[in-house]
Amino acid sequence: MLKTAVRDSGWKNFVRRVPKDSVLYYPGLKGGTTTVEDYSGNAYAGTISGATWERQANEFWVNGFDGIDDFIQATSDFGDINFLTQAITLECVWRWDTGTPASGGILGISPATATNLGIQLVSNEVGRLWLVWVRRDGDVTSRVPLLLDDTLSLNQWYHIIASYSGNGTPNSSSVDILLNGTARTFAESGQRHFWDVNNVVRIGSQALTGAGGVQEPIDGLIGLVNIRDQTTSLEEMQDRFQHIGKLIGV
């Protein structure tokens, strides 16, 4: 488990501190290296490709992604996950900067075994958010509820937090998502993605080809990444938004 992702002290420090030589503060990749650190300095193997720091006017730091193979990737500490039976919370802030809608990865975590399922938050070609299964062999027969939302606005900050609880049965698991503090509705979808690397957390999007097709690049800003191997209540989601919303001006 990524230990500090569930510690209040780590979260508060994460919000308050301005990173110095980091590429991403959590997971805390150090610029120019492949070392990944969490809040407490625990190191993991990782990859940095094309992601750059951008400092906002309100002193808020995010990472900019502007094309194919712009991503940050770190080894996962969750073990061989399978979200048919496990829980996960994905959280980040994101701003879509492209002039036209495009599909692309925002934040996700993959399994170590091809037969298990990971999960990923993506944007689609009409500027909506999806929560999709990922499997390393690209052959995803199960489905996950997708987030239905009005078309997202260009250059608008969004705080996204998704809490998923597996119950062992495809298509009937529990998913709660808040977008800028508002709960969203869901419908079933057969959308699936292919993941080429096992047991990793990925922020941004890597261009992939394979049995599952191509994963398009993301163009925008991503920050305040928080991943936990447990569910998050709606009350806690709202509490997080009250703090983070102030940072991104929503």
**What pLDDT, on the 0 to 100 scale, is given for residue 59?**
59
Place of tokens 């492949």: 34
Average pLDDT, the chain: 69
In the chain, DSSP finds a helix count (H) and a strand count (E) of 2, 19
The tokens describing 152, both together, are 């997202």
pLDDT band at 180 (very low <50, low <70, confident <90, very high): very high
Q: Is the pLDDT of residue 243 over 60?
A: yes
What's the pTM? 0.78
Answer with the residue of higher pLDDT: 21 or 241: 241
Give Cα 137 distance to the centre of its chain: 20
Nearest to 106, CA basis, from 218, 226, 3: 218
Token pair 């937090």 in the structure block, residue = 161
Higher pLDDT, 78 or 3: 78
- Res. 177: pLDDT tops 80: yes
Q: Give me the phi and psi of 44, to 5 degrees please.
A: -135, 160
Question: Pairing mode, if any, of strands 192-194 and 129-135?
Answer: parallel
Model confidence band, residue 20 (pLDDT cutoffs 50, 70, 90):
very low
Query: Token pair of 194, please?
Result: 């292919």
pLDDT band at 181 (very low <50, low <70, confident <90, very high): very high
172-181 mean pLDDT: 81
Identity of the highest mean pLDDT range in 28-37, 164-173, 229-238: 229-238
Tokens of 64: 């900019």
Tell me the domains of the chain and their CATH numbers. 47-248 (2.60.120.200)
Question: Taking the alpha carbons of 81, 39, 164, 185 in that order, is the dihedral positive or negative?
Answer: negative
pLDDT of 167 reads 66
Q: Tokens 């730091």 correspond to what residue? A: 61
Which pLDDT does position 85 carry in this prediction? 80
For range 57-84, the mean pLDDT: 72
**Region 46-67: what's the mean pLDDT?**
68
